[in-house]
Protein backbone atom coordinates (compact mmCIF):
# COMPACT_ATOMS: atom_id res chain seq x y z
CA UNK A 1 0.00 0.00 0.00
CA UNK A 2 2.82 2.42 0.86
CA UNK A 3 4.43 1.78 -2.54
CA UNK A 4 1.09 2.42 -4.25
CA UNK A 5 0.56 5.73 -2.41
CA UNK A 6 4.14 6.82 -3.16
CA UNK A 7 3.69 5.98 -6.85
CA UNK A 8 0.39 7.87 -6.93
CA UNK A 9 1.97 10.90 -5.28
CA UNK A 10 4.81 10.89 -7.84
CA UNK A 11 2.28 10.63 -10.67
CA UNK A 12 0.20 13.51 -9.33
CA UNK A 13 3.31 15.63 -8.81
CA UNK A 14 4.32 15.09 -12.41
CA UNK A 15 0.90 15.87 -13.87
CA UNK A 16 -0.38 18.69 -11.68
CA UNK A 17 0.80 21.42 -14.04
CA UNK A 18 -0.62 19.75 -17.16
CA UNK A 19 -3.85 18.51 -15.63
CA UNK A 20 -5.18 20.87 -12.93
CA UNK A 21 -6.78 19.21 -9.96
CA UNK A 22 -10.16 20.86 -10.54
CA UNK A 23 -10.23 19.40 -14.05
CA UNK A 24 -9.62 15.94 -12.61
CA UNK A 25 -12.37 16.47 -10.02
CA UNK A 26 -14.80 17.45 -12.77
CA UNK A 27 -13.82 14.48 -14.92
CA UNK A 28 -14.59 12.08 -12.08
CA UNK A 29 -17.61 13.66 -10.41
CA UNK A 30 -19.38 16.35 -12.42
CA UNK A 31 -21.44 14.27 -14.84
CA UNK A 32 -23.29 12.20 -12.24
CA UNK A 33 -23.12 14.54 -9.26
CA UNK A 34 -26.26 14.78 -7.13
CA UNK A 35 -28.67 17.67 -7.66
CA UNK A 36 -29.98 17.71 -4.09
CA UNK A 37 -29.11 16.34 -0.67
CA UNK A 38 -30.84 16.08 2.70
CA UNK A 39 -29.59 14.76 6.02
CA UNK A 40 -30.00 14.96 9.77
CA UNK A 41 -27.01 16.53 11.47
CA UNK A 42 -25.83 16.14 15.04
CA UNK A 43 -24.07 19.39 15.84
CA UNK A 44 -21.61 19.99 18.66
CA UNK A 45 -20.61 23.47 19.82
CA UNK A 46 -17.26 23.98 21.54
CA UNK A 47 -15.61 26.71 23.60
CA UNK A 48 -11.86 26.42 24.22
CA UNK A 49 -12.01 22.93 22.69
CA UNK A 50 -14.63 21.83 25.26
CA UNK A 51 -18.11 20.67 24.22
CA UNK A 52 -20.69 23.12 25.58
CA UNK A 53 -23.94 22.09 23.91
CA UNK A 54 -25.43 19.98 21.13
CA UNK A 55 -28.27 20.38 18.67
CA UNK A 56 -29.95 18.43 15.90
CA UNK A 57 -30.17 20.19 12.56
CA UNK A 58 -32.36 19.14 9.64
CA UNK A 59 -30.74 20.20 6.40
CA UNK A 60 -31.87 20.31 2.79
CA UNK A 61 -29.52 21.41 0.03
CA UNK A 62 -30.10 22.03 -3.65
CA UNK A 63 -26.94 22.71 -5.61
CA UNK A 64 -25.31 25.04 -6.32
CA UNK A 65 -26.43 27.63 -3.78
CA UNK A 66 -29.53 26.80 -1.75
CA UNK A 67 -29.35 25.40 1.77
CA UNK A 68 -31.98 25.39 4.50
CA UNK A 69 -31.23 24.40 8.09
CA UNK A 70 -34.07 23.77 10.54
CA UNK A 71 -32.88 23.67 14.14
CA UNK A 72 -33.97 20.95 16.60
CA UNK A 73 -37.55 20.70 15.29
CA UNK A 74 -38.51 21.49 11.68
CA UNK A 75 -41.89 22.74 12.95
CA UNK A 76 -40.39 25.25 15.37
CA UNK A 77 -39.75 28.01 12.84
CA UNK A 78 -36.12 28.26 13.95
CA UNK A 79 -34.14 28.11 10.73
CA UNK A 80 -31.39 29.52 8.60
CA UNK A 81 -31.75 29.89 4.84
CA UNK A 82 -28.74 30.29 2.56
CA UNK A 83 -30.09 31.44 -0.80
CA UNK A 84 -27.73 32.57 -3.56
CA UNK A 85 -25.36 34.87 -1.66
CA UNK A 86 -27.53 35.76 1.35
CA UNK A 87 -28.35 34.24 4.75
CA UNK A 88 -31.77 34.63 6.40
CA UNK A 89 -32.23 33.78 10.09
CA UNK A 90 -35.62 32.91 11.54
CA UNK A 91 -36.75 32.50 15.13
CA UNK A 92 -40.19 31.02 15.76
CA UNK A 93 -41.12 31.78 12.17
CA UNK A 94 -40.12 35.44 12.33
CA UNK A 95 -37.29 36.82 10.21
CA UNK A 96 -34.65 38.18 12.58
CA UNK A 97 -31.89 39.08 10.18
CA UNK A 98 -30.51 38.98 6.67
CA UNK A 99 -26.94 39.47 5.57
CA UNK A 100 -24.59 38.90 2.66
CA UNK A 101 -23.05 35.47 3.20
CA UNK A 102 -22.13 33.24 0.26
CA UNK A 103 -21.76 29.64 1.41
CA UNK A 104 -18.27 28.86 0.12
CA UNK A 105 -18.25 25.39 1.68
CA UNK A 106 -21.29 24.27 -0.31
CA UNK A 107 -19.58 25.45 -3.50
CA UNK A 108 -16.32 23.62 -2.85
CA UNK A 109 -18.05 20.40 -1.71
CA UNK A 110 -20.24 20.11 -4.78
CA UNK A 111 -21.85 23.32 -5.90
CA UNK A 112 -19.12 23.90 -8.45
CA UNK A 113 -20.28 20.87 -10.44
CA UNK A 114 -23.42 22.81 -11.38
CA UNK A 115 -21.26 25.08 -13.55
CA UNK A 116 -18.95 24.63 -16.49
CA UNK A 117 -15.29 24.12 -15.66
CA UNK A 118 -14.47 27.63 -16.87
CA UNK A 119 -17.20 29.16 -14.68
CA UNK A 120 -16.04 27.11 -11.69
CA UNK A 121 -12.51 28.46 -12.07
CA UNK A 122 -13.83 32.04 -12.14
CA UNK A 123 -15.97 31.48 -9.04
CA UNK A 124 -13.09 29.85 -7.16
CA UNK A 125 -10.99 32.91 -7.89
CA UNK A 126 -13.86 35.20 -6.84
CA UNK A 127 -14.11 33.55 -3.41
CA UNK A 128 -10.39 33.86 -2.87
CA UNK A 129 -8.55 30.81 -4.21
CA UNK A 130 -5.52 31.27 -6.46
CA UNK A 131 -6.22 28.58 -9.06
CA UNK A 132 -2.78 29.04 -10.60
CA UNK A 133 -1.02 27.67 -7.52
CA UNK A 134 -0.89 24.04 -6.40
CA UNK A 135 1.47 21.69 -4.65
CA UNK A 136 1.40 18.10 -3.42
CA UNK A 137 1.78 16.73 0.08
CA UNK A 138 0.15 14.11 2.31
CA UNK A 139 -2.81 14.31 4.70
CA UNK A 140 -3.56 11.53 7.21
CA UNK A 141 -1.17 9.29 5.33
CA UNK A 142 -2.73 9.85 1.90
CA UNK A 143 -1.44 11.93 -1.02
CA UNK A 144 -3.27 15.19 -1.58
CA UNK A 145 -3.13 18.11 -3.98
CA UNK A 146 -3.43 21.57 -2.42
CA UNK A 147 -5.06 24.30 -4.52
CA UNK A 148 -4.53 27.94 -3.63
CA UNK A 149 -0.83 27.96 -2.72
CA UNK A 150 2.38 26.43 -4.03
CA UNK A 151 4.12 25.88 -0.69
CA UNK A 152 3.54 24.69 2.85
CA UNK A 153 1.94 27.70 4.56
CA UNK A 154 -1.40 28.54 6.18
CA UNK A 155 -1.91 32.20 5.24
CA UNK A 156 -3.44 31.65 1.78
CA UNK A 157 -6.98 30.45 1.13
CA UNK A 158 -6.61 26.84 0.04
CA UNK A 159 -8.39 23.52 -0.20
CA UNK A 160 -6.88 20.08 -0.08
CA UNK A 161 -8.04 17.31 -2.41
CA UNK A 162 -7.47 13.58 -1.91
CA UNK A 163 -5.40 12.66 -4.97
CA UNK A 164 -7.13 9.31 -5.46
CA UNK A 165 -10.77 9.91 -4.43
CA UNK A 166 -10.71 13.51 -5.72
CA UNK A 167 -12.78 14.85 -2.82
CA UNK A 168 -12.03 17.83 -0.58
CA UNK A 169 -10.59 16.87 2.81
CA UNK A 170 -9.34 20.17 4.22
CA UNK A 171 -10.10 23.86 3.69
CA UNK A 172 -8.15 26.83 5.05
CA UNK A 173 -9.58 30.34 4.86
CA UNK A 174 -8.34 33.67 6.15
CA UNK A 175 -10.97 36.42 6.24
CA UNK A 176 -11.16 39.58 8.33
CA UNK A 177 -8.26 38.51 10.50
CA UNK A 178 -9.86 35.17 11.34
CA UNK A 179 -8.33 31.83 10.38
CA UNK A 180 -10.79 29.06 9.67
CA UNK A 181 -9.87 25.41 9.17
CA UNK A 182 -12.49 22.92 7.99
CA UNK A 183 -11.86 19.19 7.96
CA UNK A 184 -14.13 16.98 5.84
CA UNK A 185 -14.04 13.28 6.62
CA UNK A 186 -15.83 9.92 6.68
CA UNK A 187 -16.86 9.93 3.03
CA UNK A 188 -19.43 7.26 2.18
CA UNK A 189 -20.82 6.04 -1.15
CA UNK A 190 -24.00 7.87 -2.11
CA UNK A 191 -25.59 7.30 -5.49
CA UNK A 192 -22.89 7.53 -8.13
CA UNK A 193 -20.43 9.36 -5.92
CA UNK A 194 -19.23 10.02 -2.39
CA UNK A 195 -20.52 12.25 0.40
CA UNK A 196 -18.81 13.57 3.51
CA UNK A 197 -20.52 12.66 6.79
CA UNK A 198 -18.23 14.36 9.30
CA UNK A 199 -16.99 17.97 9.43
CA UNK A 200 -14.95 19.85 12.03
CA UNK A 201 -14.60 23.63 12.18
CA UNK A 202 -11.63 25.32 13.85
CA UNK A 203 -11.41 29.08 14.39
CA UNK A 204 -7.92 30.48 15.06
CA UNK A 205 -6.76 27.00 15.98
CA UNK A 206 -9.63 26.23 18.41
CA UNK A 207 -12.32 23.62 17.75
CA UNK A 208 -15.65 25.44 17.46
CA UNK A 209 -18.12 23.06 15.85
CA UNK A 210 -18.51 19.43 14.82
CA UNK A 211 -21.06 17.92 12.45
CA UNK A 212 -22.09 14.30 11.98
CA UNK A 213 -24.53 13.42 9.19
CA UNK A 214 -27.06 10.60 9.06
CA UNK A 215 -30.15 9.67 7.04
CA UNK A 216 -28.61 10.92 3.81
CA UNK A 217 -30.91 11.17 0.80
CA UNK A 218 -30.19 12.55 -2.67
CA UNK A 219 -31.95 13.57 -5.89
CA UNK A 220 -35.46 13.94 -4.48
CA UNK A 221 -38.33 16.07 -5.76
CA UNK A 222 -38.82 19.28 -3.81
CA UNK A 223 -41.01 22.34 -4.12
CA UNK A 224 -38.45 25.13 -4.49
CA UNK A 225 -40.68 27.44 -2.44
CA UNK A 226 -39.12 25.57 0.49
CA UNK A 227 -36.14 27.92 0.05
CA UNK A 228 -38.21 31.10 -0.29
CA UNK A 229 -37.83 33.11 2.96
CA UNK A 230 -41.14 34.80 2.17
CA UNK A 231 -42.93 31.44 2.38
CA UNK A 232 -41.56 30.27 5.70
CA UNK A 233 -43.81 27.54 7.15
CA UNK A 234 -45.86 27.03 4.00
CA UNK A 235 -43.83 24.20 2.42
CA UNK A 236 -42.97 21.00 4.31
CA UNK A 237 -40.11 18.59 3.67
CA UNK A 238 -39.34 16.87 6.97
CA UNK A 239 -42.12 14.67 8.33
CA UNK A 240 -44.03 14.39 5.07
Domain coordinates in residue numbering, the chain: 2-231
Q: What are phi and psi of 190, to 5 degrees?
A: -145, 115
List CB contacts of 103: < 8 A, sequence separation 6 or more: 65, 67, 82, 87, 111
Three-state secondary structure string covering 94-157: EEEEEEECCCHHHHHCCHHHHCCHHHHHHHHHHCCCCCCCEEEEEECCEEEEEECCCCCCCCCC
Three-state secondary structure string covering 158-220: EEEEECCCCCEEEEEEEECCEEEEEEEECCEEECCEEECCEEEEEECCEEEEEEEEEEEEECC
Q: Cβ distance 147 to 163 under 8 Å?
A: no
Tens-binned pLDDT, residue by residue, of the chain (240 aa): 544 444 444 444 434 433 489 999 999 999 999 999 999 999 999 999 999 999 999 999 999 999 999 999 999 999 999 999 999 999 999 999 999 988 899 999 999 999 999 999 999 999 999 988 999 999 999 999 999 999 999 999 999 999 999 999 999 999 878 999 999 999 999 999 999 999 999 999 999 999 999 999 999 999 999 999 999 999 999 976
- Classify 2-231 by CATH class: mainly beta
Q: Cβ distance 73 to 62 under 8 Å?
A: no
Amino acid sequence: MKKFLLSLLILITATTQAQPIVQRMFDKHAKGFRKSLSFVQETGFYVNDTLRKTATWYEVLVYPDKLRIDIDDPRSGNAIYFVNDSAYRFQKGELKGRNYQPHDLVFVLGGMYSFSLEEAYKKLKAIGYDTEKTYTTTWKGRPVVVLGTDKDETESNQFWVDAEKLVTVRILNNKNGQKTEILCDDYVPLGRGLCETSIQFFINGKLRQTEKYRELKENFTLDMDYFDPGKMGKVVYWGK
